[in-house]
């Protein structure tokens, strides 16, 4: 149960797009279409932003999108806004009712 690999930081100016990667193995990211992404502001509980690789829950702006290729999933935030500045975590189902998280990426809006 090794953690998924995310870049520790990412940044972009308002209005720009930024993509955060999440690399796992064939036992987790590559093996299931059950990658989800969570946004966490300081001192707050995480919030689900993307599930099943690319689905957006009701209320999440369509500026947030997800994709996957092989063992790597990605979260893209388009039209960056100040309120998008937060920590982002990917998670993948890993079989037998187990899950694994990525190490997290701190997104800075310049």
Partner 1 sequence: QVQLVQSGAEVKKPGASVKVSCKASGYTFTSYGITWVRQAPGQGLEWMGWISAYSGNTNYAQKLQGRVTMTTDTSTSTAYMELRSLRSDDTAVYYCARVDWHAFDIWGQGTMVTVSS
- Please report, as ranges, the residues that interact with partner 1 according to CB under 8 A: 1, 3, 32, 34, 36, 38, 40, 45-48, 51-52, 57, 87, 89, 91, 93, 96-104
> CB 73 → partner 1: shortest distance, Å?
13
> CB 32 → partner 1: shortest distance, Å?
7
Cα separation, 2 vs 37, in Å, equals 17
Return the number of the residue (17 or 108) whose C-beta is nearest partner 1: 108
Return the number of the residue (33 or 81) whose C-beta is nearest partner 1: 33
> CB 86 → partner 1: shortest distance, Å?
13
Q: Name the H helices within 36-75.
A: none
Return the number of the residue (63 or 106) whose C-beta is nearest partner 1: 106
Return the number of the residue (13 or 45) whose C-beta is nearest partner 1: 45
- Residue 77's beta-bridge partner residues? 18, 64
Annotate 16-44 with b (16+ C-beta within 10 A) or e (fewer): eebebbbbbeebbbbebebbbbbbeeeee
Cα separation, 52 vs 35, in Å, equals 5
Strands 9-12 and 18-23, bridge-based pairing? unpaired
> CB 106 → partner 1: shortest distance, Å?
10
């Amino acid at each position: 149960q090794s953690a998924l690999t995310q870049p520790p930081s990412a940044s972009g100016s308002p209005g720009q797009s930024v993509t955060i990667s999440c690399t796992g193995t064939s036992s987790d990211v590559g093996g299931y279409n059950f990658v989800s992404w969570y946004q966490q502001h300081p001192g707050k509980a995480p919030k689900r932003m993307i599930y099943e690789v690319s689905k957006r829950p009701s209320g999440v702006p369509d500026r947030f999108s997800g994709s996957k290729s092989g063992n790597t999933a990605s979260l893209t935030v388009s039209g960056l806004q100040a309120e998008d500045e937060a920590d982002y975590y990917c998670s993948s189902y890993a079989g037998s009712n187990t899950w694994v998280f990525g190490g997290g990426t701190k997104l800075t809006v310049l």
